Structure 1
Amino acid sequence: MKRISTLFLFVFLTGHLFAQSEPETTPVDTSYWLKEISGGLNLNQASFSGNWQGGGVNSIAVGTYLYGRANYAKDKWSWDNTMDLTYGVVKNKDEEGRKSNDRIYLDSKVGYEINDKWDYFFAVNFLSQFAPGYEFEDDDKTLISKFFNPAYLTTSLGVEYKPNDEFSLRMAPFAPRWTFVTDTTLHNNVPTNYGVEIGKKVRTEWLAFSLLADWNKKLSENLTLKMRYQMYANYETLAFDTIDHRLDLGLEAKVSNLINVSLTSMSIYDLDQDDKIQFSQGLALGISFKRGNFPEE
Structure 2
Amino acid sequence: MQYLKQGKIQPQNIFTMKHNLPNKRKTALAFLLFFLITVTSVKSQETADTTKKVPEKPWKITNALSITFSQVALSNWVAGGEKSISGNGSYIFGSKFKDENNSWESTFDLAYGQTRQGDSKNIKNDDRILLSTKYGRKASSKWNYSILASFRTQMLPGYNYPNDSTIISDWMAPGYFGLSIGMDYKPTSQISVFLSPLSGKLTVVKRQDLADKGSFGVDKATFDGMGNKIKDGKNTLWEAGGLTQITGTFPFNKGKTILTSKLELFSNYLKDPQNIDLIFENTLEVKINSWFTARLFALAIYDDNSKIGTDTDGDGTADKYTAKLQLKEIFGLGIGVKW
Q: The TM-score by the shorter chain falls in which range?
A: 0.7 to 0.9
**What is the CA-CA distance between 1:93 and the residue it aligns to?**
2.2
On the 8 A contact 1:192/1:273 being kept in 2, the answer is no
- 1:224 counterpart residue number: 258
Distance (whole Å) between structure 1 residues aligned to residue 56 and residue 282 of structure 2? 36
Q: Measure the CA separation in 2 of the matches of 1:115 and 1:177.
A: 29
Match of 1:107 among 112, 118, 132: 132
Q: CA deviation at 1:84?
A: 1.4
Contact 2:211–2:218 under 8 Å retained in 1: no
Distance 2:273 2:137 in 1: 33
Q: Which residue of 2 aligns with 1:201?
A: 235
Q: Kindly state the Cα deviation for residue 253 of structure 1 after the two structures are TM-superposed.
A: 0.5
Amino acid paired to 2:74:
F
What residue is the counterpart of 1:12 in the other structure? none
1:94-133 matches, within 5 Å, as 94-133=119-158
CA separation in 2, counterparts of 1:131 and 1:185? 16
| Aligned-pair CA distance for 1:31 | 4.7
Q: Report the secondary structure of 1:104's partner residue.
A: strand
Task: Select 2:188's aligned residue among 152, 157, 164.
Answer: 164
Identify which of 233, 248, 260 aligns with 2:267.
Answer: 233
Residue 3 of structure 2 corresponds to: none
**Cα distance between partner residues in 2 of 1:140 and 1:282:** 22
SS of 2:208's partner is: coil
1 or 2 for the larger relative contact order (CA 8 Å, sep ≥6)? 1
Q: Secondary structure at the match of 1:186?
A: helix
Q: Secondary structure at the match of 1:119?
A: strand
Please show how residues 1-297 of structure 1 align to structure 2 within 5 Å: 31-49=57-75, 51-137=76-162, 140-187=164-211, 191-198=213-220, 199-205=233-239, 207-221=240-254, 222-240=256-274, 242-274=275-307, 275-291=323-339
| Unpaired segments ≥5 residues, structure 1 | 1-22, 292-297
Deviations, residues 237-291 of structure 1 (Å, cap 9, x unaligned): 1342x21001011111110010000111111111211321110111100001101
Q: Deviations over 1:127-155 (max 9, x none)?
A: 11111111113x65421001110010000
1:6 counterpart residue number:
none
SS of equivalent residue, structure 1 residue 35: strand
> How high is the TM-score relative to the length of structure 1?
0.83
Q: Match of 2:168, as an amino acid?
A: I
- The two structures have a TM-score, normalised by structure 2, of 0.73
**Alpha carbons 1:125, 1:154 under 8 Å: kept:** yes
1:161 partner letter: Y
Which amino acid is the alignment partner of residue 260 of structure 1? Answer: T
Report the residue type matching 1:142 in the other structure.
T
Consecutive aligned runs of 4 or more in structure 1 exceeding 3 Å deviation: 23-26, 28-31
Which structure 2 segments of 5+ residues have no match? 1-41, 221-232, 308-322
Identity %: 27
Indicate how the Cα distance of structure 1 residues 30 and 258 shifts in structure 2: closer, same or farther if over 3 A, else same: closer
Structure 2 counterpart of 1:247, which letter?
A: F
**Paired amino acid for 1:194:** F
- Cα distance 1:288–1:30, how it changes in 2: closer, same or farther (>3 A)? closer
Question: What is the Cα deviation at residue 161 of structure 1?
Answer: 0.6
Query: In the aligned structure 2, how far is the partner of 1:260 from the partner of 1:95?
Result: 29
Give the Cα separation in 2 of the matches to 1:123 and 1:252: 27
Residues 192 and 272 of structure 1 are in contact (CA less than 8 Å); yes or no, is this contact kept in structure 2? no
How far apart are 1:73 and its partner, in Å?
A: 1.2
The superposition leaves residues 89-126 of structure 1 with CA deviations (integer Å, 9 ceiling, x where unpaired) of 10122211111111111111110011111100011101
Distance 1:157 1:245 in 2: 19
Deviations 1:149-191 (A, max 9, x none): 0010000000001111111010111111110001111146xx4
Q: Distance in 2 between matches of 1:256 and 1:203?
A: 47
The answer as to whether partners of 2:193 and 2:247 remain within 8 angstroms in 1 is yes
The alpha-carbon deviation at position 192 of structure 1 amounts to 4.1
Counterpart CA distance in 1 for 2:95 and 2:169 is 30
CA contact (8 A) 1:148 1:180 kept: yes
Q: Distance in 2 between matches of 1:260 and 1:225?
A: 13
